[in-house]
Structure 1
């Protein structure tokens, strides 16, 4: 059975290798035995850069999961600079992020590419962290329709190949990324509610989670309650104590809903 919440942390390319491992050591010391993790209420997934994946996995320990920030559409072959799903699984990754807005805008990734990467993750036993989100701020209902259609298209290649498995769908409105605050609460709950409805009862993707990213930080999960199933954190988790605070929020929500 999947945990109740997913908390993802992408380190992007902010830290040096030495800084990354120092952060991992501090995170393990602070939250490695946190009651939310120990009870199985939450899966904590850290996504460092490719060179740091192996030492980060060893440093964080078994209780904290490690994922990649990207993966290739192919499993192997003459693809210079790419990393395939089989190798990521071999070195201990449990998750792989696909479709982040930065890769779309800076590197030109399309829905077709992202859908193939999602399929590649499932094909290799990795849980895809699938990023979806609208480019421009609109009303919540319009945004919900947009991202629902986006997710439908992204799942197409996996369905066509007969692939199935668990997903973590990260709703990250592009216009909220990098801002001082997250999207408005009613916007988040409306869009995430639509995505959860889309996935509820989908036999191909059981036990999937819908989480929120986009300037997410401490305090947001408490405000959202059980309308989301976790957060995807960026710079607000650079301080390990802030990450510990988010896990405290998970533990409190679990106790309230018990």
Structure 2
């Protein structure tokens, strides 16, 4: 079977998690847009997304609607409607202009006990409503070779791909769970080895829909240059909560 061609278009984004107030979120997006206005052509070559909290989601969508920036949601529920108090509908998220939905983050799995099955159902809900599932994957333990990581990630990947249409766009964000909070992050050659092997999985190669792979671990200047042989972009956290750092990363990924 011939390998699927890597998508040419790169992608980079940030999640604010639960760190920002509503006022800080608005300020952050305003600062980001102002910085990007000085280099607006950079957005012609890359997909950029922001994932705020649910409360400020619609506000951010309105802020970025005239710019080439996507807005995503940090979570969703697997049913579109019903008696599910406190949950958020993918149908409603799509209605207000959400472009992608993050599912399967290590924090959701660890704190809330979310399983591969739950992650797959949420990814299916996003795809069913015309949005892109942004699926977080990563191995719990580090093995002697990349095989251990790929085997653990493959289970997560195939649970999701069995639940979404073959032609649906999917983005996977890889971060080794064992490296979260560790004194030393995963080495660049380790990340490239794992993501390159993931890209070769039959379940990904046979898809007709776009399947991009991001690195979702700790970021810093020059990181993408070290990882670009294995990934299509970066999914950032607190490093990019400084809008100047985020813009520099966007430029690096777009032109690297």
Task: Using structure 1 for the length normalisation, give the TM-score.
Answer: 0.89
Q: Which moved more, 1:181-190 or 1:120-129?
A: 181-190
* Cα gap change, 1:66 to 1:180, in 2 (>3 Å): farther
Partner of 2:55, secondary structure, is helix
* Cα gap change, 1:180 to 1:94, in 2 (>3 Å): farther
Tell me by how many angstroms 1:111 deviates: 0.8
Tell me by how many angstroms 1:163 deviates: 6.1
The answer for the alignment partner of 2:50 in structure 1 is: 46
String of CA shifts for 1:137-164, please: whole Å, max 9, x gaps.
2232311222123211232233xxx564
- How many Å separate the matches in 1 of 2:107 and 2:68? 29
| Counterpart selection for 2:89 from 84, 88, 106 | 84
Tell me by how many angstroms 1:213 deviates: 0.6
Q: Which runs of 5+ in 2 are unaligned?
A: 1-6
- How many Å separate the matches in 1 of 2:114 and 2:95? 26
The answer for the alignment partner of 1:256 in structure 2 is: none
Tell me by how many angstroms 1:131 deviates: 0.5
- How many Å separate the matches in 2 of 1:75 and 1:127? 16
| Counterpart selection for 2:154 from 130, 148, 155 | 148
Tell me by how many angstroms 1:171 deviates: 0.5
The answer for the alignment partner of 1:215 in structure 2 is: 218
The answer for the alignment partner of 1:235 in structure 2 is: 238
The answer for the alignment partner of 2:174 in structure 1 is: 171
- How many Å separate the matches in 1 of 2:77 and 2:24? 26
The answer on 1:124 being equivalent to 2:129 is yes
The answer on whether the counterparts of 1:3 and 1:43 sit within 8 Å (CA) in structure 2 is: no
Task: Using structure 2 for the length normalisation, give the TM-score.
Answer: 0.90
Q: Which runs of 5+ in 1 are unaligned?
A: 254-258
The answer for the alignment partner of 1:202 in structure 2 is: 206
The answer for the alignment partner of 2:255 in structure 1 is: 252
- How many Å separate the matches in 1 of 2:56 and 2:8? 26
- How many Å separate the matches in 1 of 2:11 and 2:110? 26
Tell me by how many angstroms 1:81 deviates: 0.7
- How many Å separate the matches in 1 of 2:210 and 2:89? 25
The answer on whether the counterparts of 2:142 and 2:148 sit within 8 Å (CA) in structure 1 is: no
Instruction: Report how many residues are paired.
Output: 247
- How many Å separate the matches in 2 of 1:216 and 1:49? 21
Tell me by how many angstroms 1:215 deviates: 1.2
String of CA shifts for 1:153-178, please: whole Å, max 9, x gaps.
232233xxx56400010001112234
The answer on whether the counterparts of 1:171 and 1:192 sit within 8 Å (CA) in structure 2 is: yes
Q: Which moved more, 1:146-155 or 1:165-174?
A: 146-155
